[in-house]
Chains A and B, each alone.
Chain A
Amino acid sequence: MRSNHRLAATLILLALSAAGCAEIQRAGEDIARQSGNPRLAGAIHGVGNVVGSLLPIGYEEEMSIGQAMALQVVARYGGVVDQPELVRYVNLVARAVANTSDRPDIPYRVAILEHDSINAFAAPAGYIFVTRGLLKQIRNEAELAAVLGHEIAHVSQKHILDVIQRSKRLAGVTEAGLSYATSNPAAFKTIIDGAVKKLLDEGLDQEKETEADAVGEVFAARVGYDAEAYVGLLARLRDLKGDDRALFKTHPNFSARIEAVRNTIHSKRLAATGVLLQERFLRMTKRV
Protein backbone atom coordinates (compact mmCIF):
# COMPACT_ATOMS: atom_id res chain seq x y z
CA MET A 1 0.00 0.00 0.00
CA ARG A 2 2.80 2.41 0.87
CA SER A 3 4.30 2.06 -2.58
CA ASN A 4 0.86 2.86 -4.02
CA HIS A 5 0.78 5.99 -1.90
CA ARG A 6 4.20 7.00 -3.12
CA LEU A 7 3.18 6.36 -6.71
CA ALA A 8 0.01 8.38 -6.24
CA ALA A 9 1.94 11.18 -4.56
CA THR A 10 4.50 11.18 -7.37
CA LEU A 11 1.77 11.29 -10.02
CA ILE A 12 -0.01 14.14 -8.27
CA LEU A 13 3.28 15.92 -7.85
CA LEU A 14 4.07 15.54 -11.53
CA ALA A 15 0.65 16.94 -12.39
CA LEU A 16 1.08 19.94 -10.14
CA SER A 17 4.66 20.42 -11.31
CA ALA A 18 3.34 20.67 -14.82
CA ALA A 19 0.76 23.18 -13.70
CA GLY A 20 3.16 24.91 -11.32
CA CYS A 21 0.35 25.53 -8.91
CA ALA A 22 0.41 25.36 -5.11
CA GLU A 23 -3.40 25.31 -5.05
CA ILE A 24 -3.38 21.93 -6.82
CA GLN A 25 -0.89 20.63 -4.26
CA ARG A 26 -3.11 21.80 -1.40
CA ALA A 27 -6.22 20.40 -3.10
CA GLY A 28 -4.49 17.02 -3.44
CA GLU A 29 -3.57 17.10 0.24
CA ASP A 30 -7.15 18.00 1.21
CA ILE A 31 -8.67 15.24 -0.88
CA ALA A 32 -6.26 12.68 0.55
CA ARG A 33 -7.00 13.85 4.11
CA GLN A 34 -10.78 13.87 3.61
CA SER A 35 -10.68 10.37 2.18
CA GLY A 36 -9.12 9.19 5.45
CA ASN A 37 -5.59 8.99 4.13
CA PRO A 38 -3.38 11.36 6.16
CA ARG A 39 -0.24 9.49 5.15
CA LEU A 40 -0.89 10.21 1.46
CA ALA A 41 -1.62 13.86 2.33
CA GLY A 42 1.70 14.00 4.18
CA ALA A 43 3.49 12.40 1.27
CA ILE A 44 2.09 14.94 -1.19
CA HIS A 45 3.13 17.77 1.13
CA GLY A 46 6.56 16.30 1.80
CA VAL A 47 7.41 15.46 -1.80
CA GLY A 48 6.24 18.93 -2.84
CA ASN A 49 8.56 20.52 -0.30
CA VAL A 50 11.53 18.42 -1.33
CA VAL A 51 11.05 19.30 -4.99
CA GLY A 52 10.47 22.94 -4.01
CA SER A 53 13.74 23.03 -2.09
CA LEU A 54 15.64 21.87 -5.18
CA LEU A 55 14.25 24.70 -7.28
CA PRO A 56 15.90 28.15 -7.38
CA ILE A 57 15.17 30.54 -4.53
CA GLY A 58 12.65 33.17 -5.61
CA TYR A 59 13.21 36.90 -5.24
CA GLU A 60 10.87 37.40 -2.27
CA GLU A 61 12.73 34.73 -0.34
CA GLU A 62 16.04 36.21 -1.42
CA MET A 63 14.85 39.58 -0.06
CA SER A 64 14.25 38.13 3.41
CA ILE A 65 17.73 36.61 3.47
CA GLY A 66 19.31 39.81 2.12
CA GLN A 67 17.56 42.00 4.69
CA ALA A 68 18.51 39.76 7.61
CA MET A 69 22.14 39.63 6.49
CA ALA A 70 22.16 43.40 5.94
CA LEU A 71 20.98 43.92 9.54
CA GLN A 72 23.91 41.92 10.83
CA VAL A 73 26.45 43.63 8.52
CA VAL A 74 25.29 47.09 9.65
CA ALA A 75 25.32 46.03 13.31
CA ARG A 76 28.81 44.52 13.09
CA TYR A 77 30.26 47.52 11.27
CA GLY A 78 28.91 50.17 13.62
CA GLY A 79 26.18 51.70 11.48
CA VAL A 80 26.03 53.57 8.20
CA VAL A 81 27.14 56.99 7.00
CA ASP A 82 24.33 59.54 7.01
CA GLN A 83 25.41 61.92 4.23
CA PRO A 84 22.53 62.03 1.71
CA GLU A 85 24.49 63.56 -1.18
CA LEU A 86 27.35 61.09 -0.84
CA VAL A 87 24.99 58.12 -0.49
CA ARG A 88 23.02 59.30 -3.52
CA TYR A 89 26.19 59.57 -5.61
CA VAL A 90 27.41 56.07 -4.74
CA ASN A 91 23.93 54.70 -5.48
CA LEU A 92 23.85 56.49 -8.85
CA VAL A 93 27.13 54.83 -9.86
CA ALA A 94 25.76 51.47 -8.71
CA ARG A 95 22.53 51.96 -10.67
CA ALA A 96 24.48 53.01 -13.76
CA VAL A 97 26.48 49.77 -13.61
CA ALA A 98 23.62 47.50 -12.50
CA ASN A 99 21.20 48.69 -15.18
CA THR A 100 23.22 46.97 -17.90
CA SER A 101 24.45 44.08 -15.73
CA ASP A 102 23.31 40.51 -16.26
CA ARG A 103 20.65 41.02 -13.59
CA PRO A 104 19.23 44.50 -14.11
CA ASP A 105 15.67 43.71 -13.07
CA ILE A 106 16.07 43.99 -9.30
CA PRO A 107 16.74 47.09 -7.20
CA TYR A 108 20.28 47.55 -5.89
CA ARG A 109 20.96 49.76 -2.88
CA VAL A 110 24.30 50.76 -1.48
CA ALA A 111 25.07 51.89 2.06
CA ILE A 112 28.41 53.24 3.26
CA LEU A 113 29.57 51.54 6.45
CA GLU A 114 30.96 53.84 9.12
CA HIS A 115 34.21 51.92 9.35
CA ASP A 116 37.84 52.64 8.52
CA SER A 117 38.70 49.13 7.32
CA ILE A 118 39.04 48.66 3.56
CA ASN A 119 36.28 46.38 2.31
CA ALA A 120 33.03 45.93 0.45
CA PHE A 121 30.29 43.31 0.73
CA ALA A 122 27.15 42.18 -1.04
CA ALA A 123 24.20 40.38 0.51
CA PRO A 124 21.49 38.72 -1.62
CA ALA A 125 18.76 40.78 -3.31
CA GLY A 126 21.09 43.70 -4.04
CA TYR A 127 22.13 44.88 -0.54
CA ILE A 128 25.61 46.30 -1.12
CA PHE A 129 28.03 47.84 1.37
CA VAL A 130 31.28 49.73 1.01
CA THR A 131 33.30 50.96 3.97
CA ARG A 132 34.31 54.57 4.45
CA GLY A 133 37.87 53.25 4.55
CA LEU A 134 37.60 51.83 1.04
CA LEU A 135 36.04 55.03 -0.33
CA LYS A 136 39.05 56.94 1.00
CA GLN A 137 41.34 54.75 -1.12
CA ILE A 138 39.40 55.20 -4.35
CA ARG A 139 40.58 57.98 -6.65
CA ASN A 140 38.02 58.17 -9.42
CA GLU A 141 34.54 57.09 -10.48
CA ALA A 142 35.81 54.32 -12.76
CA GLU A 143 37.49 52.62 -9.77
CA LEU A 144 34.30 52.97 -7.73
CA ALA A 145 32.27 51.53 -10.64
CA ALA A 146 34.58 48.50 -10.77
CA VAL A 147 34.27 47.92 -7.01
CA LEU A 148 30.48 48.17 -7.25
CA GLY A 149 30.53 45.98 -10.38
CA HIS A 150 32.34 43.31 -8.35
CA GLU A 151 29.63 43.42 -5.66
CA ILE A 152 26.80 43.49 -8.22
CA ALA A 153 28.39 40.41 -9.80
CA HIS A 154 28.18 38.56 -6.46
CA VAL A 155 24.43 39.31 -6.50
CA SER A 156 23.86 38.52 -10.18
CA GLN A 157 25.80 35.25 -9.90
CA LYS A 158 23.92 34.43 -6.66
CA HIS A 159 27.16 33.56 -4.85
CA ILE A 160 25.75 34.13 -1.36
CA LEU A 161 22.66 32.05 -2.07
CA ASP A 162 24.99 29.09 -2.67
CA VAL A 163 26.39 29.68 0.81
CA ILE A 164 22.84 29.84 2.19
CA GLN A 165 21.97 26.47 0.66
CA ARG A 166 25.02 24.97 2.38
CA SER A 167 24.16 26.73 5.65
CA LYS A 168 20.64 25.29 5.51
CA ARG A 169 22.02 21.79 5.18
CA LEU A 170 24.46 22.38 8.06
CA ALA A 171 21.61 23.68 10.21
CA GLY A 172 19.65 20.52 9.43
CA VAL A 173 16.83 22.38 7.70
CA THR A 174 15.19 20.12 5.16
CA GLU A 175 12.08 22.27 4.86
CA ALA A 176 11.66 24.06 1.56
CA GLY A 177 11.68 27.83 1.21
CA LEU A 178 11.54 30.29 4.07
CA SER A 179 8.57 28.95 6.01
CA TYR A 180 11.03 27.77 8.68
CA ALA A 181 11.91 31.44 9.28
CA THR A 182 8.64 31.85 11.16
CA SER A 183 8.06 28.26 12.28
CA ASN A 184 11.67 27.77 13.44
CA PRO A 185 13.26 31.21 13.88
CA ALA A 186 16.24 29.73 15.75
CA ALA A 187 17.20 27.77 12.63
CA PHE A 188 16.77 30.87 10.46
CA LYS A 189 19.10 32.80 12.78
CA THR A 190 21.69 30.01 12.67
CA ILE A 191 21.61 30.05 8.87
CA ILE A 192 21.88 33.84 8.57
CA ASP A 193 24.66 34.00 11.18
CA GLY A 194 26.54 31.26 9.33
CA ALA A 195 26.24 33.10 6.01
CA VAL A 196 27.32 36.41 7.60
CA LYS A 197 30.33 34.71 9.18
CA LYS A 198 31.28 33.35 5.78
CA LEU A 199 30.81 36.75 4.16
CA LEU A 200 32.60 38.90 6.74
CA ASP A 201 35.11 36.62 8.45
CA GLU A 202 35.98 33.60 6.34
CA GLY A 203 35.41 34.91 2.86
CA LEU A 204 33.71 33.30 -0.12
CA ASP A 205 35.46 30.68 -2.22
CA GLN A 206 38.40 32.21 -4.07
CA GLU A 207 36.96 31.16 -7.41
CA LYS A 208 33.80 33.17 -6.64
CA GLU A 209 35.91 36.25 -5.89
CA THR A 210 37.85 35.79 -9.12
CA GLU A 211 34.60 35.39 -11.03
CA ALA A 212 33.16 38.54 -9.39
CA ASP A 213 36.28 40.48 -10.44
CA ALA A 214 35.90 39.33 -14.06
CA VAL A 215 32.13 39.75 -14.33
CA GLY A 216 32.15 43.07 -12.44
CA GLU A 217 34.87 44.40 -14.72
CA VAL A 218 32.70 43.57 -17.74
CA PHE A 219 29.66 45.28 -16.14
CA ALA A 220 31.65 48.50 -15.48
CA ALA A 221 33.13 48.42 -18.99
CA ARG A 222 29.66 48.05 -20.56
CA VAL A 223 28.75 51.49 -19.23
CA GLY A 224 31.96 52.89 -20.68
CA TYR A 225 34.24 53.20 -17.63
CA ASP A 226 37.95 52.72 -18.32
CA ALA A 227 38.70 49.01 -17.86
CA GLU A 228 42.27 49.70 -16.65
CA ALA A 229 41.02 51.67 -13.64
CA TYR A 230 40.38 48.58 -11.51
CA VAL A 231 43.95 47.38 -12.05
CA GLY A 232 45.18 50.72 -10.71
CA LEU A 233 43.08 50.40 -7.55
CA LEU A 234 44.11 46.79 -6.90
CA ALA A 235 47.79 47.71 -7.37
CA ARG A 236 47.50 50.56 -4.85
CA LEU A 237 45.77 48.28 -2.34
CA ARG A 238 48.55 45.72 -2.82
CA ASP A 239 51.13 48.41 -2.05
CA LEU A 240 49.15 49.36 1.02
CA LYS A 241 48.32 45.93 2.41
CA GLY A 242 50.74 43.55 0.77
CA ASP A 243 49.97 40.09 -0.54
CA ASP A 244 49.92 38.43 2.87
CA ARG A 245 46.88 36.14 2.98
CA ALA A 246 46.69 36.47 6.77
CA LEU A 247 46.06 40.18 6.36
CA PHE A 248 43.53 39.80 3.59
CA LYS A 249 41.90 36.47 4.09
CA THR A 250 38.51 37.21 2.55
CA HIS A 251 39.87 37.55 -1.00
CA PRO A 252 42.65 36.06 -3.16
CA ASN A 253 45.90 38.00 -2.93
CA PHE A 254 46.18 41.18 -4.98
CA SER A 255 48.87 39.98 -7.39
CA ALA A 256 46.69 37.03 -8.45
CA ARG A 257 43.67 39.31 -8.82
CA ILE A 258 45.57 41.85 -10.90
CA GLU A 259 46.79 39.15 -13.24
CA ALA A 260 43.29 37.67 -13.59
CA VAL A 261 41.75 41.10 -14.26
CA ARG A 262 44.39 41.79 -16.91
CA ASN A 263 43.48 38.47 -18.54
CA THR A 264 39.80 39.45 -18.52
CA ILE A 265 40.56 42.83 -20.11
CA HIS A 266 42.55 41.05 -22.81
CA SER A 267 40.18 38.13 -23.48
CA LYS A 268 36.99 40.27 -23.42
CA ARG A 269 38.69 43.08 -25.32
CA LEU A 270 37.59 45.64 -22.73
CA ALA A 271 38.56 49.16 -23.68
CA ALA A 272 40.80 51.64 -21.90
CA THR A 273 38.29 54.37 -22.73
CA GLY A 274 39.96 57.04 -20.63
CA VAL A 275 36.62 57.62 -18.88
CA LEU A 276 37.68 57.96 -15.23
CA LEU A 277 35.45 60.86 -14.14
CA GLN A 278 37.92 61.83 -11.46
CA GLU A 279 36.67 65.39 -11.09
CA ARG A 280 33.07 64.33 -10.45
CA PHE A 281 34.24 61.68 -7.99
CA LEU A 282 36.40 64.11 -6.00
CA ARG A 283 33.63 66.71 -5.97
CA MET A 284 31.04 64.24 -4.68
CA THR A 285 33.26 62.50 -2.14
CA LYS A 286 35.17 65.43 -0.67
CA ARG A 287 33.47 64.85 2.71
CA VAL A 288 34.36 61.15 2.98
Chain B
Amino acid sequence: MSPPRTLRVALVVLGVGLFAWGAEAWAETIYVQARTAQLRAGKTSLDAVVGNVKFGDALEVVGRDGNWVEVKTSAGAKGWIFANKTASSKPSGTNDTLVKLGQSMRGGDASATTASAGARGLDKASEGYANRAGVSARDRDAVDRMTAYQIPDQEVEEFLREGGLGEYAK
Protein backbone atom coordinates (compact mmCIF):
# COMPACT_ATOMS: atom_id res chain seq x y z
CA MET B 1 0.00 0.00 0.00
CA SER B 2 1.45 3.34 -1.05
CA PRO B 3 1.74 6.14 1.53
CA PRO B 4 -0.76 8.47 -0.24
CA ARG B 5 -3.39 5.72 -0.24
CA THR B 6 -2.78 5.02 3.44
CA LEU B 7 -3.22 8.71 4.08
CA ARG B 8 -6.50 8.77 2.17
CA VAL B 9 -7.86 5.81 4.15
CA ALA B 10 -6.80 7.47 7.38
CA LEU B 11 -8.55 10.70 6.41
CA VAL B 12 -11.74 8.83 5.53
CA VAL B 13 -11.68 6.98 8.86
CA LEU B 14 -11.02 10.26 10.66
CA GLY B 15 -13.85 11.94 8.77
CA VAL B 16 -16.33 9.18 9.60
CA GLY B 17 -15.23 9.29 13.22
CA LEU B 18 -15.64 13.06 13.43
CA PHE B 19 -19.06 12.83 11.80
CA ALA B 20 -20.22 10.20 14.27
CA TRP B 21 -18.80 12.20 17.20
CA GLY B 22 -20.40 15.37 15.90
CA ALA B 23 -23.80 13.72 15.50
CA GLU B 24 -23.55 12.38 19.05
CA ALA B 25 -22.41 15.72 20.47
CA TRP B 26 -25.21 17.63 18.77
CA ALA B 27 -28.01 15.20 19.64
CA GLU B 28 -30.54 16.90 21.93
CA THR B 29 -31.25 15.04 25.16
CA ILE B 30 -34.45 15.43 27.17
CA TYR B 31 -35.58 13.68 30.35
CA VAL B 32 -38.77 12.03 31.51
CA GLN B 33 -40.54 14.46 33.87
CA ALA B 34 -43.35 12.14 34.93
CA ARG B 35 -43.63 9.15 37.21
CA THR B 36 -44.02 6.94 34.18
CA ALA B 37 -44.67 7.63 30.52
CA GLN B 38 -45.47 5.67 27.41
CA LEU B 39 -43.74 5.75 24.07
CA ARG B 40 -46.21 5.45 21.22
CA ALA B 41 -45.90 4.41 17.62
CA GLY B 42 -47.35 7.75 16.48
CA LYS B 43 -48.06 11.21 17.79
CA THR B 44 -51.52 10.66 19.22
CA SER B 45 -52.79 8.92 22.34
CA LEU B 46 -54.64 6.50 20.06
CA ASP B 47 -51.41 5.09 18.66
CA ALA B 48 -50.10 1.82 20.03
CA VAL B 49 -47.78 1.83 23.04
CA VAL B 50 -44.33 0.66 21.94
CA GLY B 51 -42.43 1.16 25.20
CA ASN B 52 -42.45 2.50 28.73
CA VAL B 53 -40.05 4.95 30.33
CA LYS B 54 -39.78 6.28 33.87
CA PHE B 55 -38.92 9.44 35.78
CA GLY B 56 -35.45 10.75 35.00
CA ASP B 57 -34.77 8.51 31.95
CA ALA B 58 -32.68 10.27 29.29
CA LEU B 59 -34.12 10.35 25.78
CA GLU B 60 -32.51 11.47 22.54
CA VAL B 61 -34.71 13.78 20.49
CA VAL B 62 -35.30 12.59 16.93
CA GLY B 63 -38.00 15.08 15.99
CA ARG B 64 -40.86 17.24 17.24
CA ASP B 65 -44.42 17.86 16.15
CA GLY B 66 -46.83 19.98 18.19
CA ASN B 67 -47.28 18.50 21.67
CA TRP B 68 -45.31 15.36 20.83
CA VAL B 69 -41.61 14.54 20.66
CA GLU B 70 -40.13 11.60 18.77
CA VAL B 71 -37.37 10.09 20.88
CA LYS B 72 -34.88 7.26 21.08
CA THR B 73 -34.08 5.53 24.37
CA SER B 74 -30.57 4.52 25.44
CA ALA B 75 -31.54 0.96 24.49
CA GLY B 76 -32.30 2.17 20.97
CA ALA B 77 -36.10 1.95 21.11
CA LYS B 78 -37.90 4.71 19.19
CA GLY B 79 -41.32 6.23 19.81
CA TRP B 80 -43.36 9.38 20.46
CA ILE B 81 -43.79 10.87 23.94
CA PHE B 82 -46.17 13.61 25.10
CA ALA B 83 -44.04 16.78 25.45
CA ASN B 84 -45.50 17.76 28.85
CA LYS B 85 -44.02 14.57 30.28
CA THR B 86 -40.50 15.68 29.45
CA ALA B 87 -38.04 18.34 30.60
CA SER B 88 -34.93 19.79 29.00
CA SER B 89 -32.84 19.39 32.16
CA LYS B 90 -32.36 16.34 34.32
CA PRO B 91 -34.93 16.45 37.13
CA SER B 92 -33.48 16.58 40.63
CA GLY B 93 -34.87 13.41 42.12
CA THR B 94 -35.09 12.37 45.73
CA ASN B 95 -32.35 9.82 45.30
CA ASP B 96 -29.56 12.07 44.20
CA THR B 97 -26.03 11.59 45.45
CA LEU B 98 -26.26 14.10 48.29
CA VAL B 99 -29.42 12.52 49.66
CA LYS B 100 -27.90 9.04 49.47
CA LEU B 101 -24.79 10.29 51.23
CA GLY B 102 -26.89 11.90 53.96
CA GLN B 103 -28.95 8.74 54.43
CA SER B 104 -25.87 6.58 54.60
CA MET B 105 -24.27 8.80 57.23
CA ARG B 106 -27.37 9.09 59.35
CA GLY B 107 -28.54 5.49 59.10
CA GLY B 108 -32.25 4.75 58.80
CA ASP B 109 -33.19 2.80 61.91
CA ALA B 110 -35.62 5.42 63.23
CA SER B 111 -37.96 5.03 60.29
CA ALA B 112 -38.26 1.25 60.34
CA THR B 113 -41.83 0.02 60.58
CA THR B 114 -42.69 -1.35 64.00
CA ALA B 115 -43.48 -5.05 64.25
CA SER B 116 -46.68 -4.35 66.21
CA ALA B 117 -48.02 -2.03 63.56
CA GLY B 118 -48.30 -4.72 60.91
CA ALA B 119 -47.40 -4.69 57.24
CA ARG B 120 -48.35 -1.11 56.39
CA GLY B 121 -48.12 0.47 59.88
CA LEU B 122 -46.92 3.75 61.23
CA ASP B 123 -43.17 3.83 61.54
CA LYS B 124 -41.41 3.72 64.90
CA ALA B 125 -40.86 7.47 65.14
CA SER B 126 -44.46 8.45 64.38
CA GLU B 127 -45.92 5.68 66.55
CA GLY B 128 -43.79 7.01 69.42
CA TYR B 129 -45.10 10.47 68.62
CA ALA B 130 -48.72 9.23 68.61
CA ASN B 131 -48.23 7.70 72.06
CA ARG B 132 -46.72 10.86 73.51
CA ALA B 133 -49.25 13.18 71.88
CA GLY B 134 -52.20 10.97 72.90
CA VAL B 135 -53.48 10.54 69.34
CA SER B 136 -56.62 8.36 69.35
CA ALA B 137 -56.80 4.91 67.78
CA ARG B 138 -59.32 6.28 65.26
CA ASP B 139 -56.95 9.00 64.06
CA ARG B 140 -53.97 6.61 63.95
CA ASP B 141 -56.05 4.30 61.81
CA ALA B 142 -56.91 7.22 59.49
CA VAL B 143 -53.23 8.03 58.89
CA ASP B 144 -52.42 4.33 58.63
CA ARG B 145 -55.02 3.90 55.86
CA MET B 146 -53.84 7.10 54.22
CA THR B 147 -50.26 5.78 54.16
CA ALA B 148 -51.36 2.50 52.60
CA TYR B 149 -53.66 4.15 50.04
CA GLN B 150 -52.78 3.26 46.47
CA ILE B 151 -54.37 3.65 43.08
CA PRO B 152 -53.00 1.49 40.24
CA ASP B 153 -51.33 3.42 37.40
CA GLN B 154 -53.84 2.02 34.88
CA GLU B 155 -56.72 3.60 36.80
CA VAL B 156 -55.01 7.00 36.79
CA GLU B 157 -54.42 6.60 33.06
CA GLU B 158 -58.09 5.74 32.55
CA PHE B 159 -59.09 8.77 34.63
CA LEU B 160 -56.96 11.02 32.39
CA ARG B 161 -58.40 9.44 29.25
CA GLU B 162 -62.01 9.89 30.42
CA GLY B 163 -61.34 13.54 31.22
CA GLY B 164 -59.46 14.27 28.00
CA LEU B 165 -56.44 15.29 30.07
CA GLY B 166 -52.71 15.14 29.36
CA GLU B 167 -51.93 13.29 26.14
CA TYR B 168 -55.63 12.43 25.79
CA ALA B 169 -56.54 16.11 25.26
CA LYS B 170 -59.11 16.52 22.52
Interface positions of A (Cβ within 8 A of B): 16-17, 20-22, 25, 48-49, 51-53, 55-61, 63-64, 67-68, 70-72, 74-75, 79-80, 87-88, 91-92, 95-96, 98-100, 102-107, 109, 111, 127, 141, 176-182, 185-186, 188-189, 192-193, 222-225, 273, 275, 277, 280
A79 / chain B contacts, CB cutoff of 8 Å: 138-139, 142
Complex contact A189–B166 (CB within 8 A): no
How many of chain B's residues touch chain A, expressed as a range?
35 or more
Cα distance, A22 to B142, chains bound together (Å): 35
Complex contact B133–A223 (CB within 8 A): no
Cα distance, A57 to B106, chains bound together (Å): 10
B95 / chain A contacts, CB cutoff of 8 Å: 59, 105
Looking at the assembled complex, report how far the CB atom of A126 sits from the nearest CB atom of chain B, in whole angstroms.
Answer: 10
Complex contact A109–B124 (CB within 8 A): no
Whether A105 contacts B107 in the complex (CB less than 8 A), given A64-B125, A141-B163, A185-B132, comes out as no
Looking at the assembled complex, report how far the CB atom of A59 sits from the nearest CB atom of chain B, in whole angstroms.
Answer: 5
Complex contact B126–A64 (CB within 8 A): yes
Indicate whether B103 reaches chain A with its CB closer than 8 angstroms. Answer: yes
B26 / chain A contacts, CB cutoff of 8 Å: none
9 other A-B residue contacts (CB within 8 Å) besides A96-B165, A102-B91:
A16-B105, A22-B107, A57-B99, A57-B102, A71-B140, A96-B166, A177-B110, A192-B129, A224-B164
Complex contact B135–A70 (CB within 8 A): no
Complex contact A96–B130 (CB within 8 A): no
Whether A74 contacts B99 in the complex (CB less than 8 A), given A91-B149, A179-B109, comes out as no
Q: Out of B34, B104, B140, B156, which one reaches A22, CB within 8 Å?
A: B104
Complex contact B109–A182 (CB within 8 A): yes
Whether A58 contacts B108 in the complex (CB less than 8 A), given A72-B133, A92-B159, A111-B146, comes out as yes
Interface of B is mostly: helix
Complex contact B102–A67 (CB within 8 A): no
Looking at the assembled complex, report how far the CB atom of B101 sits from the nearest CB atom of chain A, in whole angstroms.
Answer: 4
Interface positions of B (Cβ within 8 A of A): 33-36, 55-56, 84-85, 91, 93-111, 122-126, 128-130, 132-133, 135-136, 138-140, 142-143, 146-147, 149-151, 155-156, 159-160, 162-166, 169
Q: Out of B34, B110, B125, which one reaches A99, CB within 8 Å?
A: B34
Cα distance, A98 to B33, chains bound together (Å): 11
Complex contact A223–B106 (CB within 8 A): no
The 10 closest A-B pairs by CB, nearest first: A177-B106, A55-B102, A52-B105, A181-B125, A67-B126, A178-B110, A58-B103, A104-B35, A64-B125, A68-B129
Cα distance, A275 to B85, chains bound together (Å): 19
Cα distance, A52 to B102, chains bound together (Å): 5
B100 / chain A contacts, CB cutoff of 8 Å: 20, 58
Complex contact B93–A91 (CB within 8 A): no
Cα distance, A58 to B96, chains bound together (Å): 10
A106 / chain B contacts, CB cutoff of 8 Å: 94
Cα distance, A193 to B129, chains bound together (Å): 10
Cα distance, A20 to B102, chains bound together (Å): 8
Complex contact A67–B142 (CB within 8 A): no
Looking at the assembled complex, report how far the CB atom of A98 sits from the nearest CB atom of chain B, in whole angstroms.
Answer: 8
Complex contact A99–B156 (CB within 8 A): yes
Looking at the assembled complex, report how far the CB atom of A173 sits from the nearest CB atom of chain B, in whole angstroms.
Answer: 13
Q: Across the two chains, which residue of chain A brings its CB closest to B92? A: A102
- In the assembled complex, 9 residue pairs joining A and B whose CB atoms fall closer than 8 Å, in A order, are A59-B99, A60-B111, A68-B130, A72-B135, A109-B147, A179-B110, A181-B129, A188-B128, A224-B169
